[in-house]
């Protein structure tokens, strides 16, 4: 899927081009969702907001500001910044020399580990002072694959391959921050994939990691270590994220807050409300009001 919009059709951008994965793999190790290129107008701002996927931007030309976790990064041509899932972000084009950038969005249970291996973490989300020319070529390859007419399965595999090469290029640009990859095996990955699928099926139930491990036939400690290795999260943290994402969807229905909490796996509505606000920056009722009212989902003070 390939679309391009000129300035007259989309006022926020002079040019906006995006290619999407027609059938991204579910619960996979790494899958590309979409990639593209944009040229925002002066001072055009995106956010505050959150994503349920990782979004990487590499700047082709111009300048802008990326705001993340209380820090502000002034970035320019060749720099790269990463928006990690489920955290508030904001970025804004420069008022005199607005940036043009390429981006790629992806998810998967190995995405957190792979980003850490190349030195990109929520605490270190930018690559500065390095030429991004090699990365830009790989973005073009990614976009060509997604815009092509190949089968969905082949497209998904090829796109994830180009993404891995792109992550490798990021590692080359900052060798002082890369980490050696841990030993992995197909069996270990299958175990994590099974655990993730099990949690995606049973998130609404009052489950424990002991029950998860027993259901899959693994030792609890072994499974927990593998899960954190490949996802960057403990199984309970992963489960909490699943529940919160589901609750955000259910708040767009006519269920009561208590019903949303119970349907998402939260036995205590008050605990649910606290955790929801910690994650989304809004109480469940405020999130619902903003959604149905058509307002911006901005963080509450």
Q: What is the CATH number of the domain that holds 103?
A: 2.60.120.280
Domain co-membership, 167 together with 19: yes
Domain co-membership, 261 together with 143: no
DSSP readout, 1-46?
-EEEEETTT-TTEEEEEEEE-SSPPSS-S-EEEEEEEEEEPTT-EE
Range of the structural domain that residue 242 is part of: 186-292
Domain-embedded: residue 190: yes
DSSP readout, 59-122?
EEESEEEEEETTEEEEEETT-EEEE-TTS-EEEEE-SSSB-EEEEEEEE-TTHHHHHHHTT-BT
Residue 274 is predicted with a pLDDT of 94
CATH code at position 239: 1.10.10.60
pTM of the shown model: 0.61
Q: Percent of the chain having pLDDT more than 70? A: 88
Q: Which of 128, 160, 177 is the last residue of a domain?
A: 177
Domain co-membership, 205 together with 61: no
pLDDT at 299 over 70: no
Domain-embedded: residue 172: yes
Domain co-membership, 203 together with 279: yes
Q: Which of 121, 148, 177 is the last residue of a domain?
A: 177
Q: What number is the average pLDDT over the span 108-136?
A: 83
Q: What number is the average pLDDT over the span 52-75?
A: 94
Dihedral, 294, 83, 40, 94 alpha carbons, nearest 10: 110
Q: What number is the average pLDDT over the span 94-99?
A: 95
Domain-embedded: residue 297: no
pLDDT at 112 over 50: yes
pLDDT at 10 over 60: no
Residue 256 is predicted with a pLDDT of 95
pLDDT at 264 over 90: yes
Domain-embedded: residue 298: no
Residue 6 is predicted with a pLDDT of 36
Domain co-membership, 76 together with 134: yes
Domain-embedded: residue 263: yes
Domain co-membership, 260 together with 230: yes
pLDDT at 61 over 90: yes
Residue 184 is predicted with a pLDDT of 55
- What does the alpha-carbon distance between residue 10 and residue 15 come to, in Å, rounded to a whole number? 8
| Structure token digits, residue 151 | 């089968």
Domain co-membership, 216 together with 118: no
What is the average pLDDT value for the chain, to the nearest integer?
Answer: 84
Number of domains in the chain: 2
Residue 28 is predicted with a pLDDT of 74
Residue 14 is predicted with a pLDDT of 65
Max mean pLDDT range (2-6, 192-196, 263-267, 294-298): 263-267
Instruction: List the end-to-end C-alpha distance of the chain, in Å, as a whole number.
Output: 40
pLDDT at 8 over 70: no
Domain co-membership, 249 together with 162: no
Domain co-membership, 170 together with 207: no
Domain co-membership, 154 together with 196: no
Domain co-membership, 132 together with 196: no
Residue 56 is predicted with a pLDDT of 96
Domain-embedded: residue 96: yes
Q: 126 by DSSP, 3-state: which?
A: strand
Domain-embedded: residue 17: yes
Q: What number is the average pLDDT over the span 202-223?
A: 84
Domain-embedded: residue 300: no
pLDDT at 24 over 80: no
Tens-place pLDDT, residues 127-183: 987 666 788 889 999 999 998 877 888 888 899 999 999 999 988 888 777 655 454
pLDDT at 7 over 50: no
Domain co-membership, 27 together with 155: yes
Q: Which of 160, 177, 194 is the last residue of a domain?
A: 177
């Amino acid at each position: 899927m390939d679309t391009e919009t000129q300035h007259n059709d989309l006022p926020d951008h002079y040019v906006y081009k995006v290619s999407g994965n027609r059938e991204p793999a579910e619960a996979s190790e790494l899958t590309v969702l979409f990639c593209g290129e944009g040229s925002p107008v002066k001072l055009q701002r995106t956010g505050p907001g959150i994503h349920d996927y990782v979004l990487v931007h590499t700047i082709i030309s111009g300048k802008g500001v990326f705001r993340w976790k209380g820090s502000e990064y002034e970035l320019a041509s060749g720099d790269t910044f990463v928006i990690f899932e489920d955290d508030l972000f904001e970025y804004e084009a420069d008022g005199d020399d607005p940036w043009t950038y390429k981006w790629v969005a992806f998810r998967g249970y190995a995405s957190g580990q792979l980003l850490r291996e190349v030195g990109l973490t929520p605490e270190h989300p930018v690559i500065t002072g390095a030429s991004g020319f090699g990365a830009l070529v790989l973005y073009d390859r990614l976009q060509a694959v997604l815009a092509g007419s190949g089968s969905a399965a082949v497209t998904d595999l090829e796109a994830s391959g180009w993404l891995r090469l792109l992550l490798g290029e990021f590692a080359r640009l900052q060798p002082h921050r890369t980490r050696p990859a841990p030993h992995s095996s197909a069996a270990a990955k299958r175990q994590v994939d099974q655990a993730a699928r099990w949690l995606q099926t049973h998130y609404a139930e009052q489950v424990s990691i002991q029950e998860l491990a027993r259901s899959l036939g693994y030792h609890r400690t072994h499974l927990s270590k593998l899960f954190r290795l490949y996802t960057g999260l403990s199984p309970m943290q992963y489960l909490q994220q699943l529940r919160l994402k589901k609750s955000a969807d259910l708040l767009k229905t006519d269920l009561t807050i208590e019903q949303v909490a119970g349907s998402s796996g939260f036995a205590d509505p008050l605990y649910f409300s606290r955790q929801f606000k910690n994650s989304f920056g809004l109480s469940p009722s405020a999130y619902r009001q903003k959604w149905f009212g058509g307002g911006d989902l901005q963080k509450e003070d």
